[in-house]
Every structure is written in structure tokens, then in C-alpha cells.
Structure 1
Amino acid sequence: MMNLQAILDSIYGELQPRLGEGKVADYIPELAKVDPNQFGMAIATVDGKLYSVGEADTSFSIQSLSKVFMLTLALGKVGEGLWKRVGREPSGSSFNSIVQLEREEGIPRNPFINAGAIAVTDVVLAGHAPREAIGEFLRFVRYLADDETVTIDQKVAQSETQTGFKNIALANFMRAYRNLDHPVEHTLGVYFHQCALAMSCQQLAKAGLYLAARGSNPLTGHSVVSPKRARRINALMLTCGHYDGSGDFAYRVGLPGKSGVGGGILAVAPGLASIAVWSPGLNEVGNSQLGSAALEMLAARTGWSVFGD
């Protein structure tokens, strides 16, 4: 049996001289204040063990990692009907591109680019006031992580609301094409709050376990989604989870994953483990530079790539 703690310790040791690499997401004022010299990593295995290293219990803004959880909620509400509103193909464009949205008449390419995630949030908002939808989302993530202390960082939510002009443009564009059912400010209010969720690597690794364990959380026994749906969410994470760097991440790491501009990455080794890594410095396509390197090392040392060792 491999020693996962020893593997994590060795990865951390090798990456320490590189702490601070990359560039923090400075277009969200609150994220610009984060110290880039931080690194945390946690692995939650399907047999109930948790391994961690570095600042794995430090909360950070999960940003686009929230899109995985909101997608799970939306599929629970409308099932396969969701795909009338959003596609399932990699974008090949910037995560907040409006050009593609115009060309494809208001149907976003996939649920992990910003336009797609806003459409998914609009689905979850149906029948709710924005505050209720935010509450439902927060309760769901607490349920996944089995942790009532998970919270939304109001300062980050406010920071995004005040500066999210591209997202406002994307939402208005979709509303013009009738692919948004609610007032733009209602849908975006929920979206900005979901992205401002603060979690640690340990909490995230536990929350992602249902994707590693055929739709159920083995730590709590909670059934979250069907095995088929878990498999399909993993497929989307593999092909679309890293914006325009998704192909490169699949090539180097070979695991379904979702990144966020807060510097976090959630990765899934199906049948084995859920992995969360965080380091705030981003590479040129908006993914954590050291986080990506750490996952590449982990995949190489464990043989966990979905494509074989």
C-alpha cells in the first residue's frame, strides 16, 4: 500500500522553493490582497482517510470550484433538460469570452465557463428568491463536506459585485437571447455569492468525495447523485474544467479537475480519492501554477491518471 502522506510531504518539499510563483487574481480586489506564498493540499480517500500538507486547513475563496457543486444541484432539479440551456464542449476561448456567446446565440459552450455557470445558477434560482437560492447552495456544500462551518466571504462577494462588469455583460447577453429566466441582478447576486464561498483544502477534498465514490460520500453514507451522473460530471471536469488549459491539464495530470482563480483545484481519482490543492499564484490561463504542478507530481507518483499509470 502506498504511503500517501509521504508522497504529499515529498511534493510539498520539492515545491517549497517555488512558493509565490504565478500571479494572484488582481482583478477581484479582495483576491489581490491574498499572500501568494501559500500552499495547501489534501487527499480524502474513499476508504475514509484524510491526508494533508501545508496550509490545508486555511480557508480560501473557491471561486469557480463552486460551479461543480452548482451544476450538481441544477442536474438534480432539471436533469438532462439542463443541456438545452448550456453545451458540453470545451470552449477554446477565455473563460469570460463574449464573442463565442454571440456566435452561438446565447447558449454557452459548457457549464464551467462563466456564461455557462451563470445559466446553471439561473436554473437553480427557479422558484426561489436569491437569498433562498444562496442558502440552498450553502446548505448543499455543508452537507457534502459534512461541515457546518463552511461560509460565504461577504467581502469577496461584495468585491465581485462591484467589479464583475464582464459577467454582467454576459448575463445581459444571455437574457437578450432568452437564455436567462430571471432578472440579471438576481441571477448574478447568487452567482457572485456562490463564487465567494470560502473553504479549506481539507473541506474541499471531503466535499468532492461523491465524485470519486460513484455518487455517494463514503464518509457520511450520504447518496448525492447516481453513479451515472457522477461519471458524467467527471467527464465534463476532465474536458472543460480548466478553461483554455483543460487539454494541457488532461495531458499532464490525467484526472478530472476544476480550477478557480482563487488558486484552488479540485481533482478526482475515480474510485480512489478526491484531491484539493491551493496556491494563489496563477499561470497565464488562470489556473494555480503550483497547484497544477503538485497534481502532476501526485498523478505520476500514484499512477492515478484515468488513462493508466
Structure 2
Amino acid sequence: MAPDLPALVDEVATIMHAMEDRGRVASYIPELAKVDPAQFGIAIATADGRLIAGGDADTGFSIQSISKVFALTLALGKVGDQLWERVGREPSGNAFNSIVQLEQEQGIPRNPFINAGAIVVSDVNLGGHQPRVAIGEMLRFVRYLAGDDAIAINEEVAASETATGFRNMALANYMRAFGNVRHPVDLVLGSYFHQCAIEMNCRQLALAGRYLMLDGRHPEGGRVVSPGRARRINALMLTCGHYDASGDFAFRVGIPGKSGVGGGILAIVPGRASIAVWSPGLNENGNSQLGTQALELLARRTGWSVFSPPDAR
């Protein structure tokens, strides 16, 4: 029996709004530290064309590391599997901004979803151009995926990240020393910081993720990526999308997901749904505390899981 998604979305939003322990906002980025943690939004774009939303689904937020999914898609379109010569595909087991493994592994980041890997992806997407060209390409791509030209970059957040992103500067310079960042570091980071500062709401984010739900197809026609590439991006989201808590997220939720320190999570149920949740308070691993709980509740009530047979979802 198919779940009553509108009723379930309303129930999840009500439960999450009543939660007292909401985690802590990301204080190391000054603009994110200003966001009110008493917010929760959810939106589900379904394979049959519905969009169901609840809570603060129309409130914009900084997507931060969720942008790494879209950046990876672009980079694979540019260089294909050559990307994997510069970035690994394994979970890191360390925090998203850790520098520990880079020395042992000769400047090759473990995966494209930790900060070091995403910086290499930004280096690929820069492609010899000025950052404004790469930033414009990224913004057009996300607008195309969501079908919404109103999506924009929050310049205050980008400036805040640029002013305080010392660890990311260290990561980029360290990889530059190994030859794995090939453009000037300030240009690469300019592109990276602006990519992370893209602002979307839950409705827009759920719509942007539909191509990963639909085996790489854009719902309005055409193909964004091949079916095989869509499956591989989903696989990386499942195994690496929540940093050093990726295994726990797979255990508790069982669907591919990518989090961001702005409090958003994009989750994909292949063939079924693209889900966006947002609540700015984070847990100790840097993932949305209520967003994770909401997705666990949603997966339990719907039976959605990549580990369940299709007829059981």
C-alpha cells in the first residue's frame, strides 16, 4: 500500500518542530552562526511528478556541501573517469575538513565529498577559466536541474567563508604541493566558496535532485548523466555523503544522502523520490540533527531503502 505522503510530511514536520534538542548551528562560518535553529523544512519530489512540502520548505538556506553532488556531476562530464586518478572513492573515516590522510596518500583525497576532494573537483571545473566562469556554469546547472532561475548565491555567506576558510586554504595548498591542485589556490577556493554559498529552499533542492532519482534523466526530457553514472553518484552519496557518519546514516536511513553544514540533506530513493530536508542545528559529525532524524522516520514509515526489494518499498 502506497504511503499517504502529504499526511506523512505534515506529521514529520510537526514532530521535528516539537523537538527540544536541535543540535548546534555551524559557528565557524559567521553567517551560518546567525541562522535560527528553530526551523525545519522538508520537500519530496516523486517519480510521478508530485512535489509535497511541509514546515519551512520555502525558507532559503546555504546548501554548502550538498553542492558537491552537482559539482561532481559537472566534473565527470568534463573529464569522465580520469577524475578518479586525482580523487578516490572510499569513505574517509575522518572529519570532512581533515588533513590527516593527505600526507600518507600523496595528496589524493579519499572521495569527492570531503572538503579536500571537493577542492580538487573545483580545480577540474575551473578548467583554466576565471572563477566567475565556473561559478556561472554551476549556477546555470543547478537552475536547470531545479527548473528555477531564481536560485542565486548568497554573497554574504561566500564572503564569510572566504574570510574564515583557513583550513580549506591549508588543504588546497597542501594538495597544490603534490600537484593535485593545478590552478592558483585563490582561484580554486574562490570558485569553491561561492559554490558552497548557493542558496536554495527544500522545494528547489528536491527538484534539483530528480535526475539521480530518475537514472540520470531530466524529468522534462533529455539526459543529465548516463544511468551508470547516476548509480555511481548515488553509491558515493550512500558511502561517503555524511563524512565519518556515513556508515551510521546508511544503517539508520538506508538511502543515498548528501549533507551540508548549512543544515540541509539531499536524499535519493532511486525510482521513487528526491527528498530535501533542512534544519540548521548540526550533530557532532556536522550533519543536520533533525534532518537525519526526519529521514530515518520517513524511511521507516515508507519502507524506502536501497536494501529492500522493489516490491517492498
- TM norm structure 1: 0.98
The answer as to 2:192 corresponding to 1:191 is yes
> Given that residues 45 and 51 in structure 2 are in contact (C-alpha distance below 8 angstroms), is that contact kept between their aligned partners in structure 1?
yes
> Given that residues 20 and 36 in structure 1 are in contact (C-alpha distance below 8 angstroms), is that contact kept between their aligned partners in structure 2?
no
SS of 1:123's partner is helix
Alpha-carbon separation, structure 2, partners of 1:226 and 1:109: 24
How far the C-alpha of 1:20 sits from its partner, in A, is 5.9
How far the C-alpha of 1:13 sits from its partner, in A, is 1.9
> Structure 1, residues 180-230: CA drift from partner, whole Å, max 9, x if none?
110000000000000000000000000000000010122x22410001100
> What does residue 93 of structure 2 align with?
92
> What does residue 306 of structure 1 align with?
306
Corresponding residue pairs, total = 308
> What does residue 168 of structure 1 align with?
169
Alpha-carbon separation, structure 2, partners of 1:238 and 1:269: 11
The answer as to 2:281 corresponding to 1:281 is yes
| Residues 108-123 of structure 1: pairs in structure 2 closer than 5 A | 108-123=109-124
- TM norm structure 2: 0.97
Percent of pairs with identical residues: 69
The answer as to 2:8 corresponding to 1:7 is yes
> What does residue 60 of structure 2 align with?
59
> Given that residues 26 and 262 in structure 2 are in contact (C-alpha distance below 8 angstroms), is that contact kept between their aligned partners in structure 1?
yes
Q: Pairwise CA RMSD of aligned residues?
A: 0.8
The one-letter amino acid paired with 2:304 is W
| Residues 21-170 of structure 1: pairs in structure 2 closer than 5 A | 21-170=22-171
Alpha-carbon separation, structure 2, partners of 1:35 and 1:19: 14
Alpha-carbon separation, structure 2, partners of 1:88 and 1:135: 27
> What does residue 253 of structure 2 align with?
253
Alpha-carbon separation, structure 1, partners of 2:17 and 2:97: 32
> What does residue 272 of structure 1 align with?
272
The one-letter amino acid paired with 1:54 is G
Alpha-carbon separation, structure 1, partners of 2:7 and 2:203: 17
Classify 1:135/1:305 alpha carbon distance in 2 versus 1 (closer, same or farther; 3 Å): same
Alpha-carbon separation, structure 2, partners of 1:241 and 1:173: 23
> Given that residues 20 and 37 in structure 1 are in contact (C-alpha distance below 8 angstroms), is that contact kept between their aligned partners in structure 2?
no
SS of 2:18's partner is helix
Alpha-carbon separation, structure 1, partners of 2:31 and 2:15: 29
> Given that residues 128 and 183 in structure 2 are in contact (C-alpha distance below 8 angstroms), is that contact kept between their aligned partners in structure 1?
no
Alpha-carbon separation, structure 2, partners of 1:155 and 1:14: 32
Alpha-carbon separation, structure 2, partners of 1:39 and 1:5: 16
Structure 2: 5+ residue stretches without partners:
none
Structure 1: 5+ residue stretches without partners:
none
| Residues 286-301 of structure 1: pairs in structure 2 closer than 5 A | 286-301=286-301
Alpha-carbon separation, structure 2, partners of 1:117 and 1:110: 8
Alpha-carbon separation, structure 2, partners of 1:227 and 1:46: 15
Alpha-carbon separation, structure 2, partners of 1:147 and 1:222: 17
SS of 2:53's partner is strand
The one-letter amino acid paired with 2:292 is S
SS of 2:72's partner is helix
SS of 1:239's partner is helix
> Structure 1, residues 149-173: CA drift from partner, whole Å, max 9, x if none?
0000000000000000000000000
Alpha-carbon separation, structure 1, partners of 2:119 and 2:20: 33
